[in-house]
């Protein structure tokens, strides 16, 4: 009988072919880069997971991944022991806090191990977990503050041409009139049939978010993401009562504490768990289950190529955020048609990074 003890963990860095400087209301992003972890068991099967890293904290991220690799290999875990690994790693790294870089490192390995487990069984992850539906609405994301108005309109029109039914635009530039003009330009270009959402990346005060919401009413905004700081729960409560637009948040959270606080205040419409910040598959699903228990649809942050499969396993999936950043450096891009994404039918997550795109970290 084959052994599925974890034998090796490899760490790689990759850069998107679409990499270029971009900016939202709070960050200047110099590079679209990733870390890829590959876990191999004693039978020779392997699985991959990836982490969006941009240009940030290379030494810290690589150090955490190397520390995790040594920790896991020294203890001889089996590939299926994802929960045990998470608990042990959290205990090991608790001195520096359970959130942050160590959580991210553990999560990317968790994602790789779920890929490995499903490869061993030769099934897609969504079938391994138990599925509810087999297609998920997607929206085109981007709309960066750093774009000119022409670049912004070109992007949203490209999404429309490709069949997307919704797009998201960044706001919070520091100039309310500019934010409104950008939203109006998108509406004029897209017409009434494409939904527009806006994302402030926590840049606004509650009063500013209320003013923007009021003045954007005629544009028709489907939902408003992270209007204020993720810790300002009372502001979310005020905004939900007064702004007239559905509120979305969750991408900054490393657990369900913010979700619980917002549920208690009846202050949230859409929950946006980040697969990596939530610690991996189990953490993501725990948070989705809590949101579902209160009738809050799940609308995850960024990790489309994992989220589509995970959303197929929950009761109330609102949709997935779509970027094309990894498409050119993986072997099987996600199928997206008429505004819906379809889970891959290959084993595991159904895709692998191309070898030529990976630079190994020793």
CB atoms within 10 A of CB 1: 4
Give the C-alpha separation, 98 to 186, whole Å. 40
Homologous superfamily of the 6-122+356-361 domain (CATH): Enolase-like, N-terminal domain (3.30.390.10)
Unique residue bearing structure tokens 């090991």: 92
CATH assignment of 128-342, among 3.20.20.70, 3.30.420.40, 3.10.450.50, 3.20.20.120: 3.20.20.120
Question: Residue ranges of the alpha helices (H) in 50-175?
Answer: 58-75, 82-93, 101-121, 125-129, 149-161
pLDDT at 133: 92
CA dist 230 to 19, 214, 235, 258, 272, Å?
28, 21, 10, 8, 12
Unique residue bearing structure tokens 């897209």: 190
Specify the DSSP element, H or E, that contains 137.
strand 136-140
Unique residue bearing structure tokens 């030494």: 59
Give the C-alpha separation, 256 to 170, whole Å. 25
Coil, strand or helix: which one is 236?
A: helix
Residuewise pLDDT in 10s, the chain (362 residues): 567 999 999 999 999 999 999 999 999 999 999 999 999 999 999 999 999 999 999 999 999 999 999 999 999 999 999 999 999 999 999 998 888 999 999 999 999 999 999 999 999 999 999 998 999 999 999 999 999 999 999 999 999 999 999 999 999 999 999 999 999 999 999 999 999 999 999 999 999 999 999 999 999 999 999 999 999 999 999 999 999 999 999 999 999 999 999 999 999 999 999 999 999 999 999 999 999 999 999 999 999 999 999 999 999 899 999 999 999 999 999 999 999 999 999 999 999 999 999 999 98
Domain residue spans of the chain: 6-122+356-361, 128-342
* ∠ CA 79-82-85, rounded to 5°: 100
Task: Give the single-character DSSP code of 95.
Answer: G
CA dihedral 76, 81, 84, 88 (to 10 degrees): 40
In the structure encoding, which two tokens stand for residue 209, read together?
């978010």
Where b means 16+ CB within 10 Å and e means fewer, 123-150 reads bbbbbbbebeeebbbbbbbbbbbebeee
Specify the DSSP element, H or E, that contains 92.
helix 82-93
Packing angle, helices 281-293 and 257-264, rounded to 10: 10
Coil, strand or helix: which one is 5?
A: strand
């Amino acid at each position: 009988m084959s052994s599925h003890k974890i034998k090796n963990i490899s760490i790689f860095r990759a850069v998107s072919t679409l990499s270029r400087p971009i900016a939202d209301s709070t960050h200047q992003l110099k590079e679209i880069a990733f870390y890829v972890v590959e876990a191999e068991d004693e039978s020779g099967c392997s699985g991959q997971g990836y982490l969006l890293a941009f240009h940030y904290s290379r030494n810290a991220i690589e150090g955490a991944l190397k520390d995790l690799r040594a920790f896991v290999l020294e203890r001889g875990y089996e590939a299926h022991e994802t929960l045990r690994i998470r608990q042990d790693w959290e205990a090991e790294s608790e001195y520096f806090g359970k959130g942050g870089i160590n959580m991210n490192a553990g999560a990317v390995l968790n994602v790789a191990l779920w890929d490995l487990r499903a490869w061993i069984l030769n099934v897609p992850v969504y079938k391994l977990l138990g599925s509810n539906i087999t297609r998920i609405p997607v929206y085109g994301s981007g709309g960066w503050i750093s774009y000119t108005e022409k670049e912004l309109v070109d992007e949203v029109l490209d999404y429309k041409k490709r069949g997307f039914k919704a797009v998201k635009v960044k706001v919070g530039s520091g100039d309310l009139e500019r934010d409104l003009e950008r939203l109006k330009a998108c509406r004029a270009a897209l017409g009434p049939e494409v939904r527009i959402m806006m994302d402030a990346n926590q840049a606004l005060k509650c009063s500013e978010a209320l003013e923007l919401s009021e003045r954007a009413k005629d544009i028709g905004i489907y939902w408003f993401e992270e209007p204020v700081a993720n810790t300002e729960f009372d502001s979310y409560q005020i905004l939900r009562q007064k702004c007239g637009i559905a509120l979305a948040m969750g991408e900054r959270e490393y657990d369900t504490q913010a979700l619980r606080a917002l549920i208690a205040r009846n202050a949230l419409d859409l929950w946006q768990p980040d697969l990596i910040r939530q610690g991996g598959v189990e953490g993501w699903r725990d948070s989705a289950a809590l949101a579902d228990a209160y009738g809050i649809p799940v609308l995850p942050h960024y990790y489309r190529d994992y989220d589509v499969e995970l959303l197929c396993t929950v009761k109330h999936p609102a949709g997935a955020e779509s970027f094309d950043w990894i498409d050119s450096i993986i072997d099987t891009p996600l199928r997206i048609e008429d505004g819906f994404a379809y889970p891959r039918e290959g084993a595991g997550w159904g895709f692998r990074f191309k070898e030529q795109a990976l630079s190994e970290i020793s």
